[in-house]
Structure formats: C-alpha cells, structure tokens
Structure 1
C-alpha cells in the first residue's frame, strides 16, 4: 500500500492505493511546519486519520506540503509521519512540486498555487528549475486567500468597506476589531484565519463590484510582483492549483490576459492528477 498526499496550510488531501490498485480518498487538516510542530502533527494524524486505515501495511508515503522549503522543515513532518507509518518509506516534498507535476506531468511549463498561500515556478518536466519566493503571508503571498482576506479585514477595520458589505460581514461573523486583531496577532494560525474570509468574498451578494475589485487588485499584485518577474513568462500558459484560482477563475483569466498570458489548466486540488503521475512513474519503473 502507498499513500500520496497534497498538504496545504488549511487542508491535506490523501489517496491510499492498495495492492489491487484501488484508491481511497480522505482528508485531514493541513500541516505547515512554519506553524505546526512535530507533536501537533502527530496528535492530529492520530485523531483524524481514518480509523480503519491499516497504517502498519503502508509501505510508502509521498507527501507534498506547504512550507517544506528545506530539510529542517521537512523533518518536522517526517518525524511525525515515522511515528505513525512505522513500516513505510517517507518522502517529503514541497507542495509546489506537487502542483507542477499535477498540472504539467512530464511537460515543461509554468505552474502556480493560489490557495491559502501563493507559490510559482518554472518546471522542466521533472523538477522545479526557477522559483521566486512568495515570502509567505506577512511579506508576500500576493493573490492568495490570505492576501484577499487581509485586504477585506483591513477595509472592515479602517471603515473603507461599503456599508452594505459591512452589514453582511457583521451579520455573518459578528467580529469586532479587537476580535480580528487578536486572531491575527495573538492566536495561532493567523494565515488560516485570514484566508477563511476569501469564501465570504466569493459569497457576497450585496456588492459584487467591490468584491470583484478587491480580488482583481490582489491578482494584479500577484502578477506584478511574482509572475511577470520570470524571464519569458509570456511564452508559457498560466497553470494553477488551488481554491482561490478555481473560484475566481474569471478574474484570474482577465488579469492574466492583461499581462499577456493565456489561461491553461486550473484545478481546485492536485490529488487526482498527482496520483496519476505517481502511478505512471511506478509503471515506468522510476
């Protein structure tokens, strides 16, 4: 049995493939090693993995996760996994590589993530060959759910939000300025808190012009500060993984067009294509 997982900062999508090539899909919360330590990840897995999952029979775990930027961060996750999957070979990779392999397979191209966070790269058909750091949610992550959420919360606190949207926001969340600042600056996982409001932006009915302009400005910063900084970026199609890209695809296509890029493959989650990639590699003996 092998496990393949795509882990964002908010949610992890898993696929178990048994010896008969049957697939079982399930989810747990996301595990970003910048915000979750080994003990937290271990306890979460013990609690949230399916009770009937035969963990001792799993021989291989291929995990791609947000925040896995170096060996130190990968070890935070692998140390937890090794305590759970005691007989498995553990392979920890970056979620950006998962996105590239899911979107492009063995073909060269541009790949991105627009979910809780942001990431971008040029992929050569096997590995990432060019990458500009997104700088995470404090310094960067333009275009992400967190970035959109921060813009919304800033408008709410400063009084820039249209009154009809402000009322809709209050009726939905009943959050005071103090509540918001406490969640952002005191409580754990502020990136996940901010990103959670991107759904509200998508659902707002009272003023679609305001929410559309908010999302568009976030995407414009994403293209200005990240996408357009890659050499010859216009020669590639724009391929992207993530709920933000999927939900706001029409706005994304508009901004991409303004920067001279055609929209390519846009999918909410890479797990199905990622599973196919690994199955193909296995069949080819790689």
Structure 2
C-alpha cells in the first residue's frame, strides 16, 4: 500500500492506493510545519488515521504539504517516518502537488487558492519558477485568509453595506475584541481569518466586489510577475479558487490568460501521476 497526502494549512486529504487503484480516501487536519511541531503531526496522524489503514502495511508515503520547503520539510518527514515506520517517506511542497495534479507531465502555470495562495511555473515534472507569496501577513493575495481579513476589516471599520453587516452579526457571535484577539494573539490566525471567506459565498454585490478585487490583486502582485504569463493557461487548485471559479475565470480573462483546470483538490491527478510513475 502507498499513501498519497495533499496537505494545506487547514486540512489534509489522504489516499490509500493498493494494486493499482485507490482503496480509501480520508481527511485529517492540515499540518504546516511553520505552525505545528513534529510531535504534534505524528500524534495527530496516529489519532486520525483511518481504521482501514495499517501503519505496518504502508510501503511508501508521498506527502505534499504547505510549508514543506527545504527548511521545514524535514520536520514532516521525520514525524511521518515515526508513524509509518516501514515506509519510505517523500515530502514535497503542496505547490508541486497542485502542478502534478493538474498538469501531470505537461509544462505550464499553476496556482493554489485555498487558506493561503501560491503560484509556479512547472516544467519537466518539477517547479521551475516560484515567486514567494510572502504568506499570511505580507501577501497571500486572493486566498481564503486574504478574503477573510478583508471581511473583518470592513466589519470592524463599519464600511460594509448595512444589510451585509446585519447578516454578519446574525451569522457570527463574536464581539469586536474577540475578533482582534483571535487575529493577533490566538494560534493559527490564518485559519481563523480564512473561515470568514465562506461569508462571501452568499452572492451579492458586496461579495462579488470583494472577491474580484482580491483576485485582481492576486494577478497583479503574483501572476503577472511571471515571464510570458499570458502564454500559459490558468490552472488552479484549492477550495477558494473552486468555489469562486466564475469570478476567477472572469479575472483571468481580463489578464489575458485562458482558463485551464480549476479543481478543488489535486488528488485524482496525483493518483494518476504516481500510478503512471510506478508503471514506467
């Protein structure tokens, strides 16, 4: 059995593959090694592992995760090696998962729009150019956390339309000081902010304007920095890109990029990619 994992900052999707087919798919929480320790990851995976998966039966783990760069990827690798003690464990970035899951062996451009945002050019099975999104505080334009911050800004500054503000108050029970505390003092503020992006699913002029402005900022500050970006189709992975695909497609066309694949999860493509690799 091999396990393939796609982990963002909020959740991890796991696929158990055996004898050339997927036998189980399940979810655990997300594990960004910039925010959680190796002990936390190992304990959480053990506690959340699907009962049909025996740790002793796993021969290889292909883990793609947010924050799994050269500096922090070893934290995840060591944690998973403790859990899956008989397996070879390979750890790569969630950006590579998005690329392999949408493009397979083809070259092109790929973005992630989930809790955070990321982008790359992909060539010959690996990332060739990656412009840093700068994370939750300095960047992550277009992401769930970015959208959530905008919602909180508008609410706390009382710049929302009256009907939208009333809907916010009827949806959430937070006091202003609680919102500030959760953003500035509580753990995982990126996840907290990202939860408010769901508030924009309710279609209205305000939601459309906020989402479109966020996606324009994403294209202006990240996508358009890539050389010859207009020559590529726009491919995207992540819940935010998927849920708001109509607005995202609208903006991509305004920036003269033809829409490609916009999917919620790269997992189906990743399974196909790794099965093909095993057959070669």
**TM-score (ref. length: structure 1):** 0.96
For 1:164 and 1:110, the matched residues in 2 are separated by 39
Cα offset, 1:22, TM superposition: 4.3
Structure 2 regions of 5+ residues with no counterpart?
Answer: none
2:133 matches 1:137:
no
Q: Does the CA-based 8 Å contact 1:245-1:266 persist in structure 2?
A: yes
The farther-off stretch of 214-223 and 159-168 is: 159-168
Q: Does the CA-based 8 Å contact 1:14-1:26 persist in structure 2?
A: yes
| Poorly superposed stretches of 4+, deviation over 6 Å | none
Instruction: Give the aligned CA root-mean-square deviation in angstroms.
Output: 1.0
Q: Secondary structure at the residue paired with 1:86? A: coil
Q: Secondary structure at the residue paired with 1:100? A: helix
Aligned position for 1:197: 196
The farther-off stretch of 130-139 and 165-174 is: 165-174
For 1:239 and 1:231, the matched residues in 2 are separated by 16
Q: Does the CA-based 8 Å contact 1:81-1:90 persist in structure 2?
A: yes
Aligned position for 1:219: 215
Residue by residue, what CA displacement relative to the aligned partner does 1:251-285 show, whole Å, maximum 9, x if unpaired?
Answer: 1111111111111110000111111100011101x
**TM-score (ref. length: structure 2):** 0.98
Aligned residues: 280
Q: Does the CA-based 8 Å contact 1:105-1:125 persist in structure 2?
A: no
Q: Secondary structure at the residue paired with 2:4? A: strand
The farther-off stretch of 225-234 and 45-54 is: 45-54
2:159 matches 1:160:
yes
2:50 matches 1:54:
no
2:1 matches 1:5:
no
The farther-off stretch of 44-53 and 84-93 is: 44-53
Aligned position for 1:33: 33
2:96 matches 1:100:
no
Q: Does the CA-based 8 Å contact 1:104-1:125 persist in structure 2?
A: no
Cα offset, 1:75, TM superposition: 1.3
Residue by residue, what CA displacement relative to the aligned partner does 1:51-100 show, whole Å, maximum 9, x if unpaired?
Answer: 33211110100000001121x31111112111110100000000000000
